[in-house]
Structure 1
Amino acid sequence: MTAPAARRIVLTGATGQIASLMARYLAPRHRVILTSRTARPGARRPGLTHVTCDYGVYESLVDAFRGADALFVVTNDPTRPEHDRNVVRAAVEASVGHIVKLSAAAVLDSAAHDLITEWQRGNEERIRASGIPWTMIRPRSFMSHALGWAPGIRSGGTTYALHPHSRNACVAPEDIAEVSARLLGDTGHHFRSYQLTGPQPLSAHEQSAVLSQVLGRPLVCRELTPEEAHARYARRYSPAMADALIASAGRQLAGAKAHTTDTVERLTGRPATTFARWAADHRERFA
């Protein structure tokens, strides 16, 4: 059922957390090429090479992808869909053997029609139409989003959230990375999709309580109004992205993100990481 391990694996999004985590699993046994738009001189180690390429320039992607037995695709800008088109076009031209796409669990939600979700649906459709064997990874929210609270925790012992009692079955980035690394180049997972969640749905209020225990100090979770939340998002993202995040929070309030799966355990042989375990492992980033 399983083909020989891929010899050359290309990971896009080298500056993001998932690709860098995947490299830890893959580099000891494979030739791994990390690609990004910016140079990473410190990324060199045995089995690992970094290639700088521009996702807006199709030809540079072809050169980076050529000869890849498997390609991990992560893109992060719904306002630049040409990047996604270029990635798939280059993968076809370079005769990539297998694509593993980091998508999102929201694509399965019939009530989700925001910018981000529709963008991910389009990305999935493009890959399915490419003719290249594919596997879709659809995670819930990353546990690492809680790191956005770190400045408020350090300065005033406060976390902030829109709808702080709504629950999300968030998943550890380390679990996403391990699952994705296991699937690359494995013919037994061709043309399959996997929804990844953590072991339990938690609210921002409950996550804050866990962080309080881990840090050994009291924390207060303050509720943001939709206007306050939108203003916070708009400081980092485009207005359209901010609108999408507000819509996503509304679906969470309606219970759309509380469902859990056992996918991490089925594919790795170990239970999915709890938020308490993840928070303890990253304690120094909050302290």
Structure 2
Amino acid sequence: MIPPVPHIVLTGATGQIAPLMVRHLPAHHRVTLTSRTPSPGVDRPGVRHVTCDYDVCESLVAAFRDADALFVVTNDPTRPEHDRNVVRAAVEAGVGHIVKLSAAAVLDDGAHDLVTEWQRRNEERIRASGIPWTMVRPRSFMSHALGWAPDIRGHDSTYALHPHSRNACIAPEDVAEVSARLLGDSGHYFRSYQLTGPQALSAHEQSAVLAEVLGRPLVCRELSPEEARRRHSRRYSEAMADALLVSAERQLAGAKSRTTDTVERITGRPATTFAQWALDHRDRFA
């Protein structure tokens, strides 16, 4: 008898991690990518995209139906009903395993900002669902540096609040590979993994790396809290801007500098350095 083809569902199809995960899943797996908006798609046989209404649980149930494993990305702390619907749909659809993209800050007793508390509630909801779970808790993504690209192109500058505070940021590609390896593997059921890069770097140090990669000098300029808030408010709600400022203060206090070897333990290779990541994405800054 031919065994059934595993069905993997990845939420967040228009985000960073889910599309990167596809390349690390076995070619014979049936993969469904879901998102709230249409996706440009992933060029691989056996992959389909489903646009879901996260306000309607039934829309998610149809996409999750009989999934052997579900990768959960939730990205709006102001819409907690979406998170509730995802878990409810996973239960109704008979999902076999949930891998949740959470955040390293949930382990920090001093972190009580909007985003961290939201992720804690999401984790609690999944643990209470009765479905086997695995939590993936990364530090900040190295790709946040792409927010500097316009300033680098236009002014040879980067900007940061507390530019000498350090964060053990991680390459999104590493998060994707680790998450793909966890999906459906019972050896990882009911476990949580904190993911970091191989070293903690400050914005000043990241800027020096980018200057070397780009072959021209860059200046890292310090923002005041008011300037940082204005920059955040261009992209996020006021509540999110406040949460990011509070998070920056924890970073200044050293809360984000610890590194782990989780990427190497799970993938068998060292975690990507910021220099490697910057070189791979050089064209996006040039």
Shorter-normalised TM-score: what interval?
A: over 0.9
Measured on the aligned residues, the alpha-carbon RMSD in Å equals 1.2
- Does the 8 Å contact 1:13/1:34 carry over to 2? yes
1:67 correspondence with 2:50? no
Q: Unaligned regions of 5+ residues in structure 2, if any? A: none
Query: Partner residue of 1:85?
Result: 84
Q: Which amino acid aligns with 2:222?
A: E
Deviations along 1:190-230, one digit per CA (max 9) or x if unpaired, are 00000000000000000000000000000000000001001
Structure 1 position 44, deviation (Å): 4.9
How far apart, in 1, do the equivalents of 2:58 and 2:131 lie? 19
Q: Which amino acid aligns with 2:210?
A: L
Q: Unaligned regions of 5+ residues in structure 1, if any? A: none
Structure 1 position 5, deviation (Å): 10
SS in 2 for 1:43: coil
How far apart, in 2, do the equivalents of 1:73 and 1:50 lie? 15
Give runs of aligned pairs for residues 36-55 of structure 1, distance below 5 A.
36-55=35-54
- Does the 8 Å contact 1:163/1:223 carry over to 2? yes
In structure 2, the CA distance between the partners of 1:174 and 1:6, relative to structure 1 (3 Å rule), is: farther
1:180 correspondence with 2:190? no
Query: Partner residue of 2:191?
Result: 192
Aligned residues: 284
Structure 1 position 25, deviation (Å): 1.3
Give runs of aligned pairs for residues 1-287 of structure 1, distance below 5 A.
7-26=6-25, 28-287=27-286
In structure 2, the CA distance between the partners of 1:35 and 1:27, relative to structure 1 (3 Å rule), is: farther
Deviates more, 1:142-151 or 1:38-47: 38-47
TM-score (normalizing by structure 2): 0.97
- Does the 8 Å contact 1:12/1:74 carry over to 2? yes
How far apart, in 2, do the equivalents of 1:70 and 1:195 lie? 20
TM-score (normalizing by structure 1): 0.97
How far apart, in 2, do the equivalents of 1:85 and 1:27 lie? 30
Q: What's the % identity of the aligned pairs?
A: 81
Structure 1 position 42, deviation (Å): 3.9
In structure 2, the CA distance between the partners of 1:38 and 1:161, relative to structure 1 (3 Å rule), is: same
How far apart, in 1, do the equivalents of 2:171 and 2:41 lie? 25
- Does the 8 Å contact 1:5/1:185 carry over to 2? no
Deviations along 1:105-161, one digit per CA (max 9) or x if unpaired, are 000000000000000000000000000000000000000000000000001100000
- Does the 8 Å contact 2:41/2:49 carry over to 1? no
Structure 1 position 38, deviation (Å): 1.4
